[in-house]
Structure 1
């Protein structure tokens, strides 16, 4: 089955993408819209998503992107978002947990506030969005929904840097398997974790608060992963036959030695 034919059943259905304003989230939104889906893209600031939505609408794509302002570290923001989606678009059929961040502080330096901030976005927000998306699916009789967790290679191995971020991503690895085991009890809702290595986005510059350093890292690499590469992997997983669950995808750039 090709991606094109596999995506036909998702036309006009609703996807929610967190962290949708830049990088991987932006690429995923664009790809889903290009296949006819109604995509709710959320982030703490919706200006960039509004701009992307306008650009996509000018291209005459079959789907549409709708920007929504939401901080996934805030429980009430998440509650309000799902209520708004239910009222205006019926509910969520595909949940893409892409929001996440890191900071440069070592384990010996990091403060409690920074740890809690990271946990609230990378872990707690992911769990709340997933549980509410699943509830939306089950209450509407949607038995072929799909959950995506944008994990990281840092959720499978340590490099010695961004160690608390790695701890949150190891949690995502465990949570993905935990959700899978709970979902198979009463549904055919699928869950897929995608774990990229180094991706050429703003993530590294934001984590280390140094754009030049991030660019120098990319320049030294033999190859890097592009956001569209990850979006293509998501499309492949989403378009696969309903009897197949692609559970955990590890993605390294060619030549990576860690």
Structure 2
């Protein structure tokens, strides 16, 4: 008898999937027959290429990392800081094609006139602002609310963390409104803006971040009432390894986020489609107790 033969059904080869980069994320997968195909990707920074971003508190930490990331994504970035020369130093740490998109200007966000002058200069030199990252913030861990003579330190925290956010947002919106731009304002907040933590000498810092939470929602309401499509996002990280974190044994084993983690959330919020608004992002390191 002739040998029996058996036909084997061979599945079609899986199609090659397009590479996924940090600037593009797949939204979902759809099943077709036996194949998994990545659906069209919608989270991208492409719409911001060539647009202008302002980052406050840009000389170190989250601000410095944001400057480099936004410039790498194709934006023209102006870093505002009291130590503006440190923003220029960032150029040395990125490729030449990125470095030429990084600029700096000295600005003290506790001074309304300094803010107004900085935004006017940027309007004149760069045509206006499309994205604002309200990152400037300070803490004065030298006193409690009851410490005698603490007024100057407490006012510095409020002027920087609260009024700085309000005034920079105002000037950014006016620039966007003049040019009919649907821009984006990102406020770097804190988990302390959502939950009280009894850390020694935090004094008025937590209250300033609760204010940022309320300011963000007030801005959202005001922007809607203005009939604009300008977005506003609050990003609230847990403890981040920056210059603001005191040195000492008490933080030796404390889980911390890195500045890159927070900037990743900024890029995510900016990369959403025009009809999508990320209201709040809360990020904590794994193992954080609070």
Moved more, 155-164 or 84-93: 155-164
Is the deviation greater in 115-124 or in 62-71?
Answer: 62-71
Match of 1:249 in 2: 281
In structure 1, the partner of 2:105 is: 68
From 231, 256, 259, the counterpart of 1:227: 259
**Does structure 1 conserve the Cα–Cα contact (< 8 Å) formed by 2:140 and 2:154?**
no
Runs of 4+ in 1 over 6 A off after TM superposition: none
In the alignment, is the contact (CA less than 8 A) between 1:200 and 1:218 conserved in 2?
Answer: no
Which has a greater percent of helix? 1
Higher relative contact order (CA 8 A, sep 6+): 1
* Equivalent of residue 69 in structure 2, options 31, 42, 50: 31
Q: 1:117 aligns with which of 139, 145, 156?
A: 156
The aligned length equals 247
| TM-score of the pair, normalised by structure 1 | 0.91
Bigger Cα displacement from structure 2, 24-33 vs 2-11: 2-11
Q: TM-score, normalised by structure 2?
A: 0.82
2:191 pairs with 1:153: yes
Q: CA deviation at 1:53?
A: 2.3
Structure-1 residue corresponding to 2:51: 13
For the residue of structure 2 that corresponds to 1:163, the secondary structure is: coil
For the 8 Å contact 1:37–1:62, the answer to whether it is kept is no
Q: Distance in 2 between matches of 1:46 and 1:82?
A: 15
Matched, 1:49 2:87: yes
Deviates more, 1:87-96 or 1:3-12: 3-12
Give the alignment's Cα RMSD to 1 decimal: 1.6
- The answer to whether the 8 A contact 1:32-1:63 is kept is no
Equivalent pair of 2:92/2:99 in contact (CA under 8 Å)? no
1:220 to partner: Cα distance? 0.7
1:134 match: 173
Give the structure with higher Rg (CA): 2
Q: What is residue 178 of structure 1 aligned with on the other side?
A: 218
TM-superposed CA distance for 1:63, in Å, is 6.4
Report the 3-state secondary structure (helix = DSSP H, G, I; strand = E; otherwise coil) of the residue aligned with 1:203. Answer: coil
Unaligned 5+ segments in structure 1 are 206-210
Residue ranges of structure 2 left out of the alignment (5+ in a row): 1-19, 25-42
Instruction: Give, in whole Å, the separation in 1 of the partners of 2:276 and 2:100.
Output: 25
CA contact (8 A) 1:53 1:65 kept: yes
